[in-house]
Amino acid sequence: MLLENLLDTYGYWVLFVGTFLEGETVLVLAGLAAKLGHLRLHWVMVVAFAGSMLGDQLFFFIGRIHGKPFLARRLTWRLRVNKVHRLMERHHILLLLGFRFLYGLRSIIPFVLGSSEVKTSRFVTLSLLGAIIWSVVVGAGGYLFGAALEVFLQDLKRYELAALASIAGAGMAVWLIYHLRSRREAKAVAEKELP
């Protein structure tokens, strides 16, 4: 079957790139693929950890070097940057540990933290712990979601393409809605700032 060949050949690479950039949907899909027998759950967690950790470190250090000027030019990020600063004031350690669980803010938080006064050693340490927790929880969540589907569908293998496509479609829909809403909010902020 074409799907099995694609997952066997590219599954871990797609997971690595997906978790490097953002990650939730691709990690849930990888957990489900592990339940279906295409990937190994422990490798799903290891690859997700590596992709997430490397991506977040890169974004942190880009933020450290180019953060403030870059952030000043990004109107679409301005509201989220302000939200990240408010979260940092109230929940500093929890934010550093759990930012991967904050959909829509996950990719911007390391960048904002890099442009802030957060110590590099503190970010790396807490980000490492957070990446471990995130990859285990979300990867296992995808696997358990597959197990729950199997209870209802009996023969999950028969419906695997539909299940994978549904999760991918739902993830894309959530991303698109969030992206369009963020752009609309940024446009409103920009119009308020114009003289």
pLDDT of residue 44: 93
pLDDT of residue 184: 72
pLDDT of residue 128: 94
Residue in this structure with the two tokens 């679409």, named with its chain if needed: 76
pLDDT of residue 126: 93
Question: What tens-digit pLDDT sequence spans the chain (195 residues)?
Answer: 555 666 667 778 888 988 888 778 788 888 888 888 888 999 999 999 999 999 999 999 998 988 777 777 776 677 777 778 888 888 878 888 888 888 777 778 888 888 888 899 999 999 999 999 999 999 998 888 877 766 666 665 666 666 666 666 666 676 677 667 766 766 665 566 545
Residue in this structure with the two tokens 């829509």, named with its chain if needed: 104
pLDDT of residue 178: 66
The pTM of the whole model exceeds 0.85: no
CA distances (Å), origin 16, targets 19, 136, 174: 5, 15, 21
Rg (CA), the chain: 18
Other Cβ atoms less than 10 A from the Cβ of 69: the count is 8
Determine contact, residues 41/31, Cβ cutoff 8 Å: yes
Q: Which of 54, 58, 39 is nearest to 139 (CA)?
A: 39
Q: Which of 68, 105, 60 is nearest to 86 (CA)?
A: 105
Give the residue extent of every domain in the chain.
2-193
H helix runs in 91-158, sequence order: 92-98, 109-114, 120-153
Q: Side chain identity at 162, as an amino acid letter? A: A
